[in-house]
Structure 1
């Protein structure tokens, strides 16, 4: 374990919650002067931290504990019937790992995804600067996984490859390919990639019981939830 006790953290002032509109949120950030060390990041991911751009953070709300970190133990995951259908339906998609970069092809896909799927969220309206600050970071453990159908880019999964697992930072995809369930397929692919790289888990971020947009995360079983600082398996 890294000597986490020596790290400094800073909390934001309360602000409107992105997931539960009636709540006020506070976010805890690792001191941005701390180098982005992969081992520190891995240890903090086991404590429920996530990465956004150059920052590691986790919710630190005084009156609410609805955001529960979730991860899929890759070796124990068993796809259900619907997930097996999704895997079969997308057998014609090829996936390639590449270093993070700004490309118009990426941004155009991201723009359409945000405008059609998340026009009510914090990332609307999308901009090139926002895309770059959020996702295009020169970090040795960060990768863009391109999903292509006959050469056409249909999805990008931005992932951090850590010693303890694969952290799913963000995925955006072609909203016109609804039949393929590309978001779900990207998670299934990442589970398989974790196994190929001998990694223990896929870190999915936060599950929020009363947020419909987060409900998809508990469709992957078994799943582990960080409750009272212990990872608890839900079958």
Structure 2
């Protein structure tokens, strides 16, 4: 996959897919690795718009991918393949609507700076509750703009936004970071560590059919 050039050819299955949004614009390509509890490592690509956190696109190693659109509450699934490292051919298969809801109740978030660029985040269902129901250890890396995202967090966009906003309160107005690595404990036996392998600047746009 090229660093600055994405040549996109779309083959749409019109019987099962229909864009209602004008377009999707992306500016960063993140190569990631996720280590889930009792599972092997998962490598995947996350393509984002750094100015628009409400949608993102995942590409997996099995030639399948999805756009998660939290504006319209739609997941758009597709197959893809790469030619000469610079050409991606997308074949959209279907779209699935979802209901956005918070999986857990979070009323209070405490962020503690452990050391330079390392932060502990603890979430609580009530402000006076002593037992957290979600914990993260986050490692930031200085970057040339704000690309702070949790790229494989199994929680609603609303909860993720609240956690990021709480983290940014500790950054003294300088948000020019990327999340280099984080470990999340869901407090239900599931723990995962997700890390950034590479990040590239891109100019990538998906246009809907007319």
TM range (shorter): 0.3 to 0.5
- Work out which structure has the larger RCO, using CA pairs closer than 8 Å and 6 or more positions apart in sequence: 2
Higher helix residue share? 1
Higher strand residue share? 2
